[in-house]
Structure 1
Amino acid sequence: MNSPQAADLTPIIESLGIPQIQRHLFLCTDPTKPKCCPKEDSLTAWNYLKKRLQELGLDRPTELRPDCIFRTKADCLRVCTQGPILLVYPDGVWYRNAMPEVIEEIIQRHVLKGEVVAEYAIAQHPLPDPPPSPSV
């Protein structure tokens, strides 16, 4: 990150808490061509996820909680059934039927306690450990 372009982004990166991200939640929402669920359901799920992470103070690092949880809208996560689909990284857990009541359970059990919510999990494939950095 030594380039001038990257340096210009430093204040934004720091203000968002990107170095403190603990988990990143991807939600299939607001699709161009709804397949896994009605578009309205996906937007209801997205608005709930966004609101709850903010209410719980999980969306930005704080003095009491130095890490944070990021969320991103995904047009389609390619499962195309039993949606909305929610993906939790780096754990690599894929959840089905991610409507508000299920999202709340995922937040409380998975995000806060590290427990996979088996009733809604459809797949698990954690990110591999990164390869060692090459010696310079």
Structure 2
Amino acid sequence: MPKPKVHFLICANQRPAGHPRSCCADKGAMNTLTAFGQRLQATQKFDTVMVSAVRSCLGPCSQGPIVAVYPDNVWYGNVDAEKAAKIFDSHVNEGMPVKEFMLQEGTF
């Protein structure tokens, strides 16, 4: 497999019950991951796109599910299945971020 041109990293961190911080897994991260996987399957871009679940915290838990896109270093928050499709298509087809879904500066 060649090096991917676009790599979507979806936070799927699961914290123990009662933990004081929220986690992306409890906010629907698996649905988000599935949506990205479905877009990858539908587009057949396996040679240029990679979708990965990240099992450790990516940081801004209150904004989860979090998606980071590399090599662009673009971060998104509150990504549901509908947003996932738009983010995927915009990065893969246009090479552009979806500004209205991006995390704001100072979120971390």
Q: TM-score, normalised by structure 1?
A: 0.65
How many equivalent pairs are there?
99
- Pick from 54, 58, 65: which aligns with 2:41? 54
The answer to whether the 8 Å contact 1:45/1:100 transfers is yes
Do residues 89 (structure 1) and 70 (structure 2) align? yes
**Residues 11-70 of structure 1, C-alpha deviations (whole Å, 9 max, x = no match):** xxxxxx1x24111110011x2217244536111111111121111112x22xxxxxx101
Structure 2 unpaired stretches of 5+: 17-21
Identity %, equivalent residues:
31
Give the distance between the partners of 1:26 and 1:38, measured in 2 at CA: 14
Matches within 5 A, 1:12-51: 17=1, 19-29=2-12, 31-33=13-15, 35-37=22-24, 39=26, 41-51=28-38
The answer to whether the 8 Å contact 1:93/1:123 transfers is no
Larger Cα-atom Rg: 1
Q: 1:120 to 1:40 in 2, by over 3 A?
A: closer
Structure 1 unpaired stretches of 5+: 1-16, 62-67, 125-136
Matches within 5 A, 1:1-136: 17=1, 19-29=2-12, 31-33=13-15, 35-37=22-24, 39=26, 41-58=28-45, 60-61=46-47, 68-75=48-55, 76-122=57-103
* Structure 1 residue 123, shift from structure 2 partner: 5.5
SS at structure 1 position matched to 2:30: helix
Match of 2:19 in 1: none
* CA RMSD after TM alignment: 1.9
Give the distance between the partners of 2:65 and 2:44, measured in 1 at CA: 23
